[in-house]
Structure 1
Amino acid sequence: MYNKIILAGNLTRDVEIRYTQGGSAIGSTAIATSRKFKSQTGEQKEEVLFVDLTFFGRTAEIANQYLRKGSKVLVDGRLKLDQWTAQDGTKRSKHSVTVENLQMLDTKGQSEQMAAQGGYNAPQQQDTYSQPAPSQNAAPQQPQQQQAPAQNIPEIDINEDEIPF
């Protein structure tokens, strides 16, 4: 069987991170996606969908460090059905996505603008918004501050196949 979902949209809240007893990071947030369509009467409509996201390991730490409410992201992962019993005894369920790969879609200019408006603290001397975050299986990369040339111009290694437009 195959279970794969790809979503692009904006985060609806800041990433909340916690750690297991073993020290592994778990991050949670939600994404809002939308689609525009014409109804049978020809009226332009928009449908918005909200989906919970869960990040693990290094991906959770990167998401917590760089993403804030409103950040544009592209995620892919597995669809999961969460089921529980509410306090009033009713059975409840919802779908969520366990994220395997994360791409930050905000440009550096957009992230600095959000920081200026009090949205969040922009990363200093790093331009990781245009690079995909490593998955939990990938080896950690060296921080960009060590790789950057002396003129504080970040080095960007982008594969053209990874550009979403």
Structure 2
Amino acid sequence: MYNKIILAGNLTRDVEVRYTQGGSAIGNTAIATSRKFKSQTGEQKEEVLFVDLTFFGRTAEIANQYLRKGSKVLVDGRLKLDQWTAQDGTKRSKHSVTVENLQMLGSKDDAQGGGYNNAPAGDNYSQPAPSYNAPTSAPQAAPQQAQASNIPEIDINEDEIPF
């Protein structure tokens, strides 16, 4: 089976990092993506989608250091279904993305304006996320770098940003 998702958009909040007892970093945030389309009546409409993101290891620390609310990013990873029971006893669920690769988008002007704290735009950061279904193995950086270079560059129009 194949589970891969690629999203480009803006972060909806700052990255929150916490550490496991073993010292591994886990970062959480969300991304907003949008698309414009014409309805059957010819009316211009916009659809906005909000998706939670989870980063692991060094990628979580880099995201926390350089990214802020509104930062433009391109992420790829695995789609995950989170399920829980709410306090009122109802069953709840949502989809989220476990990020495997992160690419910061935007210009250096954006970075110096405080969005990235002077991080170079366009840098790729990838960290294999822990797989709970497979045994852990040593990370292989070369294939991930090859995957990151195959991701097409997406031009995001400022008018399409939902905030």
Unaligned runs of 5+ in 2: 129-138, 142-147, 155-163
- Number of residue pairs matched by the alignment: 138
The C-alpha deviation readout for 1:45-86, integer Å capped at 9, x for no partner, is 000000000000011011000000000000000000000000
User: CA offset at residue 163 of structure 1?
Assistant: 6.4
Unaligned runs of 5+ in 1: 140-158
2:153 matched to which residue of 1? 164
1:28 matched to which residue of 2? 28
| C-alpha RMSD of the superposition | 1.9
User: Taking every aligned residue pair, what percent have the same amino acid on both sides?
Assistant: 76
2:117 to 119, 122, 134: 122
Aligned-partner Cα distance in 1 for 2:19–2:99: 17
Query: Is the partner of 1:58 in helix, strand or coil?
Result: helix
Q: 1:160 to 1:78 in 2, by over 3 A?
A: closer
Given that 2:110 and 2:116 are in contact with CA atoms closer than 8 Å, whether structure 1 keeps it comes out as no
Structure index of larger Rg: 1
User: One-letter code of the match for 1:133?
Assistant: Y
User: CA offset at residue 161 of structure 1?
Assistant: 5.4
User: CA offset at residue 107 of structure 1?
Assistant: 1.6
The 5 A counterparts of 1:145-160 are none
Given that 2:100 and 2:126 are in contact with CA atoms closer than 8 Å, whether structure 1 keeps it comes out as no
Q: 1:29 to 1:70 in 2, by over 3 A?
A: same
1:135 matched to which residue of 2? 127
2:39 matched to which residue of 1? 39
Greater relative contact order, per chain length (Cα 8 Å cut-off, separation 6+): 2
User: CA offset at residue 135 of structure 1?
Assistant: 2.3
Q: Which runs of 4+ in 1 moved over 3 A?
A: 136-139, 159-163
Q: 1:19 to 1:164 in 2, by over 3 A?
A: same
User: CA offset at residue 160 of structure 1?
Assistant: 7.4
